[in-house]
Structure 1
Amino acid sequence: MLLRIDGHDLPGMPGIRVAVQVKDKPKELLDPQRGDAGAVAWELPVEPFTTGDGLRTLRGRHVQTGIGGRFVYLSWGRTGEDGSGFEMFRRSKLMLSGIPEDVLAAGVEAGVLRARVRLTDAEGQPVSARLLPPEVEWSAG
């Protein structure tokens, strides 16, 4: 199935990018996108599964495991004028524990789970936080 992350309200900063980090590889990024874009999106292949504790969640190449559960890193970095290079300066954790059980079940059935997330914080900077509802809107399909 796919996890689609739709980012909106970006900070409008040229010269920075936001990308999804590959599990345990901070320098390996999926599709860095401009920090001054109107909107951004990524589609990640994920697999639903049940943990040994009976928790229904997701795993995959971009899903991290750590304190607080499973999550996807959204990494912010500075780049050269041509978009080359990526010097990370902050990250956010899109927490999978925030997915309502009924939405996860519907997403598994539909084959697509969506996360809609605002990417600018209250000070107008790139968001750097644990992202949970209401900052994230989860939906299926």
Structure 2
Amino acid sequence: MRIRIEGSDLPGRRAGGQADALRLGNVHVGVQRKSEVVDRVPASAPSAAWEFEVASRDAGEGLLDVGGPYVHGRPGARFLYLSWGAVSDDGFAMFRRAKLLFGDVPADAMRGAHAGAGVLVGRLGLTEADGSPRCARVRPPDIAWTLE
């Protein structure tokens, strides 16, 4: 199953102290693959997008299960992480994550992606109301899932 996450309104693009601190701290966001954060994008970028494959299988009783290095959680509660951290010569120091749950994806979009009818796309803004990086569980309508 192909998945694309599209992020807009990154927090480092805004005016003010919060955005300045993110830029000065060289803060990036990326998708978490196992324990590593990959395809990192600066908090000041105009947008961010990640595209990757996850395994999907029929789990019986009309249910689908997903797996692979990008998928976290136990069966029935699977999710993806977008992870925020500061990039330095020492590496990536994660300080916050956004959790995108497969349980929030409309069933028809999930089934279509599983069948290969298109790419499952999640679109979300990456800034909280207070100007900080988006974190915690991101639920609709803050994320919109579609099959494209």
TM superposition score category, shorter chain reference: 0.7 to 0.9
Is contact 1:107-1:139 (8 Å) kept? Answer: no
Structure with more helix by fraction: 2
* SS at 1:133 equivalent: coil
| C-alpha deviation, 1:57, in angstroms | 3.6
CA distance in 2, matches of 1:46, 1:110: 15
Q: Which residue of 1 aligns with 2:7?
A: 7
**Higher strand residue share:** 1
Distance 1:123 1:42, change over 3 A: same
Bigger radius of gyration: 2
Which of 76, 79, 85 is residue 91 of structure 2 equivalent to?
85
Partner letter of residue 54 of structure 2?
V
**Which residue pairs with 2:82 in the alignment?**
74
Amino acid at match of 1:117: L
* CA-atom RMSD in angstroms: 2.0
Structure 2 length normalisation: TM-score?
0.82
The amino acid that maps onto 1:116 is R
Runs of 4+ in 1 over 6 A off after TM superposition: none
Partner of 1:118: 125
Gaps of 5+ in 2: 13-21
SS at match of 1:88: strand
Partner AA of 1:50 in structure 2: D
Please report the TM-score for the alignment, with normalisation by the length of structure 1.
0.86
Unaligned runs of 5+ in 1: none
